[in-house]
A and B are shown apart, each in its own frame.
Chain A
Amino acid sequence: MKTPIAVAAVSAALYVLTSAAFAAEPCDIPGYLLFGNNELKHVAEAVRKERRLTIAVVGTGSSILAGPDGPRSAYPARLEAVLKQKLPSVAVKVVTLARTRMTAEDLAKGMEKVLADEKPDLVIWQTGTLDAIRRVDPDEFREALDEGVETLHKGGADVILMNMQYSPRTDIMVSYGPYADSMRVVAQQHEIPLFDRLAIMRNWSDTGAFDLYAAGKDNVLAQRVHDCIGRGIASMIIDAAHLHPEPKAAQ
C-alpha cells in the first residue's frame, strides 16, 4: 500500500521541483538554435592575450528600449553584465550604436566609422527589420550585408549577425522569410555566427516562456525578453570563442 503513495509523493515533489526550475529559467534556448561551428577567433585572441573585449552593437530600434531604465535593460547592457560576471578577469565593454529607421545598406555604410571610433573586437550587427518592411530588393539587401561584413573583417573585427524579432501580432503584415534567408546565407558564406532571434523568440512563444502576443504597454515583458537575448548572445560568444573551459570538457 505504501509504495504507490511514496511513488506519487516523490513524483509530485519532482514535478514541483522541475517546474520551479523551468520557471526560474525562462531564457532557455535549444542548442541547435544557438551553437554552430563558426568561431570568433579575434575575440578569443583579444581575451586570451589582452584580457579585454570590446563589443559594438550596430543596429536599429529593436536593440534599444525606451524609457528611463531603457538603456540599462536593453540587451546590449544585459550582455555586458552577463559577460562581466562570467569573465571576471576580462575588461568587457559593450557600446550600443543603434539608430531607428536604418536599412542594412545604411548601417553597412557606417561600418568604417564604427571600426575607427570604437576599435571593437566584435560587432553584433542587428538588421533586417526595416528592409523587410520597406520590401527592399533581397539581392540589394544581401549585397549590403556582404559589404558590411567584409568591411568589418578587413578591419580585424569578428561579426555576429542578428536577425529580426519574432512579432506575432504584426507578422501577417510583413514577410521576413527572404531577408532571414539572406542573413543565414551570408552568415554561412562568411563563416560567422548568426543569432537567429526570429527563431529563438518564436521558440519562446511556442513553449509559453513569453506571451509575445501581448498588446499592452508592458515594460516588464520587453525587459525580460531583452535580458534573455543578452544571455543568449553571451552564451553564443563564450561558445564560439571557446572562452569557457568547463562546458568544452562536457562536449
Chain B
Amino acid sequence: MHALVVTTGRDLRLDLFRGIALWLIFLDHIPSNLVAWGTIRNYGFSDATEIFVFVSGYTAAFVYGREMRERGFLIAGAHILRRAWQIYVAHVFLFAIYLAEISYVATSFENPLYAEEMNILDFLKQPEVTIVEALLLKFKPSNMDILPLYIILLLLFPPTLWLLQFRSSLALGASVLLYVLTWTFNWNLPSYPSGHWYFNPFAWQLLFVFGAWCALGGAQRLAAVLQSRVTLSIAVAYLLFAFVITLTWYLPYMSQYVPHWLEELIYPIDKVNLDVLRFAHFLALAVVTVRFLPREWPGLKSRWAWPPIVCGQHSLEIFCLGVFLSFAAHFAMVEVSGAIWMQFLLSALGIVVMVAAAGLLSWYKRAEGRSSGSRPKKTPDADLAGGEA
C-alpha cells in the first residue's frame, strides 16, 4: 500500500519521453532516412525502444496498479488483457497495410541489380502460410516486432503486477532471474520462416518490470542513489564511452583505437536479448535525465513541450500511426523521389501528422468526457496512461 504515496498526479516527463521515443521510432522506421542520423541509436548503445518499453511498464503499473488496489485483481487483470487484445487487433491491421504497400511496390520492381533481393518477396507466394503465421505472431515483417512484444508483456502482466504490489523486491528479483536464465539457456519464441523473435520477450520483460517497479515505489527507494554525485559521474562516463564506441561503427578507421580485449568483452551488443550494455546505457541516460530535468520543471507545461507530450499520452494510436506513416513515407520515396529534401520533408510531415492526430484524440476524449457526465472517470484515465503500445 505504500505505493499510493508515490503516485500523486501524473509525471509529465513520462509522456514527454514516450512522445519523443515515438517520433524517434517513426524516424528510424523510414528506411534510408538521413534524418534518422539524429536519433539516439547512433550515439550510444540503447535506442528509443528502451525508453518506450520502460515508460510503458511505468505507466501500466501506475494505472493498472491503482485499479488493482481499488477494484481488485480480477477487474484490473481483465482490463490488462483487453488492452493486449486491442494491441493484437492493431498489429493485424498494420500487417494488412504492410502487405498492401509491399505488394504494390514489389510488383513493379524488376531491376536486375537487385535480383537477389527479390527473394524477400518469397513469402507472398504462399499467402496461406504467411497470413496464418502472421496471425500467430510468428511471421513479423521488419519494423513490426514491437507490438507483439507488448502483447506478451501484457499477457504476463496481471500476476507480475500482483506480485509487485505485495512483494516488489521479489517480483523484480524474479524478473532478473528470468533474464539471467534466458541468457543462460537461450530461451526465445520461434519465428517464421526461421529464427526467433527480434525482441525476445523473456529478456525485454526486465525493462518493462523495472519500469513498473519504479512506478510502485522503486524510484523513491533509488532516490538516494540517483542523487549521488558518484552515480552521475559513472553515468556520464559510461555515456561518453558508449558514444566513442558507437562512433567507431560509422568511422571504421577509428576502430583501430579500440583495444582487442575490449572488443572481445563487449561484442556483440545483442539487441534481441536486451544486452546488459544496452540496459546499462538506458539506466545511465535515465540517471542524467532525472538529474537535470526535475519533475516540477515548468517547461513541461509550456507550449513547446505539448507536441511530444500529447503524442506520448496516446501512445498506442500514435505508435500505429507512426508505423503506417513510415510505410507511407517509404512508398512516397519509392514512387516520387528518394532525394534528401524529400527525406526531410517526409520526416517533418510525419511528425506533424502524429501531433495533429494526438491533438484530435485529446479533443475527442475531452468532448466525450463533457457529454456523458455519468461515465466513470477511471476509463479515460486508464486509456490515457495505459497506452502501452
Query: Could you tell me which A residues sit within 8 Å of B by CB distance?
Result: 31-33, 35-37, 60-62, 65-67, 100-101, 129-130, 133-139, 142, 165-175, 178, 181-182, 184-185, 188-189, 194, 196, 202, 205-206, 208, 212-219, 221-222, 225-226
Apart from the given pairs A61-B119, A165-B116, A185-B267, 18 other A-B contacts in the complex at a CB distance below 8 Å: A31-B253, A32-B253, A37-B256, A62-B114, A134-B193, A135-B191, A135-B193, A135-B194, A139-B268, A168-B338, A172-B102, A172-B142, A181-B269, A189-B260, A189-B264, A212-B113, A215-B110, A217-B110
Query: Could you tell me which B residues sit within 8 Å of A by CB distance?
Result: 31-32, 34, 101-102, 105-106, 108-122, 141-143, 191, 193-196, 198, 249, 251-253, 255-256, 258, 260, 263-264, 267-272, 326-327, 330, 333-334, 337-340
Shortest distance from the beta carbon of B305 to any chain A beta carbon, whole Å:
31
CB pairs A–B below 8 angstroms (20 shown): A32-B251, A32-B252, A35-B253, A37-B253, A62-B115, A100-B115, A129-B117, A136-B195, A137-B195, A165-B117, A167-B114, A169-B111, A169-B114, A175-B142, A181-B268, A182-B268, A188-B267, A189-B263, A196-B252, A221-B113
**Which chain A residue lies CB-closest to B102?**
A173
Q: In the complex the two chains form, what is the Cα distance from A53 to B111 in whole Å?
A: 33
Are B251 and A222 touching (Cβ within 8 A)? no
CB < 8 Å neighbour of B252 from A60, A61, A194: A194
Shortest distance from the beta carbon of B108 to any chain A beta carbon, whole Å:
5
Q: In the complex the two chains form, what is the Cα distance from A205 to B270 in whole Å?
A: 29
Are A33 and B252 touching (Cβ within 8 A)? yes
CB < 8 Å neighbour of B116 from A129, A166, A214: A129
Q: In the complex the two chains form, what is the Cα distance from A118 to B272 in whole Å?
A: 38
Given known contacts A170-B106, A175-B142, is B111 in contact with A216 (CB within 8 Å)?
A: yes
Shortest distance from the beta carbon of A127 to any chain B beta carbon, whole Å:
11
**Which chain A residue lies CB-closest to B28?**
A177
Q: In the complex the two chains form, what is the Cα distance from A222 to B114 in whole Å?
A: 8
Q: In the complex the two chains form, what is the Cα distance from A202 to B37 in whole Å?
A: 13
Shortest distance from the beta carbon of A175 to any chain B beta carbon, whole Å:
4
Are B112 and A213 touching (Cβ within 8 A)? no
Q: In the complex the two chains form, what is the Cα distance from A212 to B334 in whole Å?
A: 10
